Structure 1
């Protein structure tokens, strides 16, 4: 037990050092010093602040598909990751992104994959979005060599946006409102079969409200039973929370402006069942996105606006592992870093990404348009 505790402290210090290095790479000396003060974990962070040769950042790999946009990303560890995107494309890497295997389901070229959840390097579930039968799920158990279609939406009123798993068997998928309420699919066998949950415990959707299939993070879970659903398009952006795997839900104002079909909460990340970050804004190019980030410390019962949010629309967000305060937010215009739990953000990269994911062994990945998939370096 003592050895494990020491290992975790070393990992946390290393991640903190990388967060500081990432900030230093995009900030002046005074700003870098402020960031270091916020993130210092032992001497490692202090060393990172003063070493001018240490610069953390995204390192792009060659996926071989420059005409595909990846909005679905499942990072298994620092070596293995899956991405899913347009033109029915699914890729997998097992060597840290140096090479990518095209493991797309046969005959899926007309589908838009927007989410992927992977249990390891062999087992994964992907979600295709769209009205009616365009919304589908596929599952593989052999690294993508073969796929089984496990759900095809029979209701033309439903439009599925995101999916999430609590463990390797239990998961949910969500659709935009049908008959005034969000529709929830449930699986108890790892995505091999699905059933629609009763909507008795789902609060009514606001007029015009829907989810955004922008990053695979409009439905996220943490732990064995807690799940959160992000919304936009209505009068205000909201986050819905369920503590019983989607049977009953409570809605809260997320303090992120909406009031337009293009605005609201696009991505969520929870580092435990109480501390979460919401990001969003207006996805239209050139539109401003004020107050487009918020934080919660009570499991989503209440949300507070970030004091210094990202200045532009962000669709994806992820906590850096083994830290309590560092996280990344990504969007088409760049990446922002927070070192204080989402209260303030600083832009540290201008590359276009739609989604981001980090793993417990300190691997962080991002994916987006133009076939872009990147890993965070230096390796930790």
Structure 2
């Protein structure tokens, strides 16, 4: 399995101006650039949903009602998505696009499908996908659900594009088995054309009891923030927005320090004004000094002692890392991914188009 030394990353950072070749020459030595270790999934689905539980267990979800799970670090994958029925609620499950998945073990997971009307749904399993319960079906014509996030195995939220001028939220306190619409009174009003992006499952995030929403469609794009998921403020995110452009992913490592990445998905190589950082909980955002090398749809902090300022970002044109909390980004791989998430180890997983799933083990 590919292993990436943090000393190597520091060396790459200090030598970032040498170019984007496959190696870095330092005196008599050549340091290999880190690359993702691709895993064989046996699928050609696009996996925007990604939920690693550990270095061994991970779930991915995507188009065609597809949900896969591995319990051996990605060597083998099982298809465990909701089974279509000849009639009734799940007759059309094979047409669904599961853009987000949350998981806590090899048995328990929640998936969110996106789309207009009743295409936006939530399914929950407690037996590794042997059976699924459909726990939420959108009934609002104006709603279009994008992302789902949990702060604990019991408490979670899912977000939709604005309904009646405000981003719509639903909430569960029983692990996804039932959902209630959050009263919109405390939500900051959305701007005309403002919406979220169902690109990586990270347009909604939660850390340290706080909640964050990434949005775009307006310029500048914005990030919403809340201390309880019910009363919301919003700030400009220092990332260029507009039609198909804005903040695609927001992530916080604690109550103060956060990163936001995005850009314009129709311009995958665009590398200007596509990342920002904050050190005051999202009240103010500053643009990165060195941007990711293209539109980035997903991001993740690296957990563990000694990694507090380290994070990854991925998109169709490649992957980047930061070692200074999002102030500067450095490209290290040119493969296409939509989503990234890191777990203890630290081990980072990525997923994307054509069944692509990969791992990167940091040492």
What TM-score do you get using the length of structure 1 for normalisation? 0.86
| Aligned position for 1:192 | 177
Q: Which residues of 2 match residues 226-245 of structure 1 at below 5 A? A: 226-244=210-228
Residue 90 of structure 1 pairs with residue 74 of structure 2: no
Q: How many residue pairs get matched? A: 344
Separation (CA, whole Å) in 2 of partners of 1:50 and 1:166: 48
User: CA-to-partner distance for each residue in 1:318-370, whole Å, 9 max, x for gaps?
Assistant: 11112121111000000011111111111100000000000123121000001
User: CA-to-partner distance for each residue in 1:30-83, whole Å, 9 max, x for gaps?
Assistant: 4499xxxxxxxxxxxxxxx998577643101110112x1000101101111100
| Aligned position for 2:113 | 128
Residue 102 of structure 1 pairs with residue 79 of structure 2: yes
Separation (CA, whole Å) in 1 of partners of 2:216 and 2:206: 19
Q: What SS does structure 2 have at the residue aligned with 1:321?
A: coil
Please tell me whether the aligned partners of residues 19 and 56 of structure 1 are also in contact (alpha carbons under 8 angstroms). Answer: no
Separation (CA, whole Å) in 2 of partners of 1:50 and 1:201: 61
| Aligned position for 1:247 | 230
Q: What SS does structure 1 have at the residue aligned with 2:114?
A: strand
The change in CA–CA distance for 1:99 and 1:304 in structure 2 (over 3 A counts) is: same
Q: What SS does structure 2 have at the residue aligned with 1:240?
A: strand
The partner residue of 1:59 within 37, 51, 54 is 37
Separation (CA, whole Å) in 1 of partners of 2:334 and 2:270: 17
Residue 257 of structure 1 pairs with residue 216 of structure 2: no
In the TM superposition, residue 310 of structure 1 has moved relative to its aligned partner by 1.1
The change in CA–CA distance for 1:93 and 1:22 in structure 2 (over 3 A counts) is: farther
The partner residue of 1:155 within 140, 147, 154 is 140
User: CA-to-partner distance for each residue in 1:83-119, whole Å, 9 max, x for gaps?
Assistant: 0111110000010011111101112210011000101
Q: What SS does structure 2 have at the residue aligned with 1:74?
A: strand
Q: What SS does structure 2 have at the residue aligned with 1:211?
A: coil
| Aligned position for 2:89 | none
Q: Which residues of 2 match residues 159-238 of structure 1 at below 5 A? A: 159-223=144-208, 225-238=209-222
In the TM superposition, residue 282 of structure 1 has moved relative to its aligned partner by 0.4
| Aligned position for 1:40 | none
In the TM superposition, residue 21 of structure 1 has moved relative to its aligned partner by 2.7
Unaligned runs of 5+ residues in structure 1 are: 1-14, 34-48
Please tell me whether the aligned partners of residues 89 and 109 of structure 1 are also in contact (alpha carbons under 8 angstroms). Answer: yes
Residue 348 of structure 1 pairs with residue 325 of structure 2: no
The change in CA–CA distance for 1:178 and 1:376 in structure 2 (over 3 A counts) is: same
Separation (CA, whole Å) in 1 of partners of 2:181 and 2:115: 17
Separation (CA, whole Å) in 2 of partners of 1:250 and 1:328: 26
User: CA-to-partner distance for each residue in 1:180-206, whole Å, 9 max, x for gaps?
Assistant: 000110000000000001000001101
What TM-score do you get using the length of structure 2 for normalisation? 0.90
The change in CA–CA distance for 1:193 and 1:375 in structure 2 (over 3 A counts) is: same
| Aligned position for 1:21 | 8
CA RMSD of aligned residues (A): 2.2
In the TM superposition, residue 208 of structure 1 has moved relative to its aligned partner by 0.2
Q: What SS does structure 2 have at the residue aligned with 1:309?
A: coil
Please tell me whether the aligned partners of residues 8 and 31 of structure 2 are also in contact (alpha carbons under 8 angstroms). Answer: no
More helix by share: 1
In the TM superposition, residue 29 of structure 1 has moved relative to its aligned partner by 8.4
Q: What SS does structure 2 have at the residue aligned with 1:57?
A: coil
| Aligned position for 1:39 | none
* Runs of 4+ residues over 2 Å off in structure 1: 17-24, 27-33, 49-57, 285-289
More strand by share: 2
User: CA-to-partner distance for each residue in 1:122-167, whole Å, 9 max, x for gaps?
Assistant: 1000000001100000000011111111000011110000010010
The change in CA–CA distance for 1:290 and 1:54 in structure 2 (over 3 A counts) is: closer
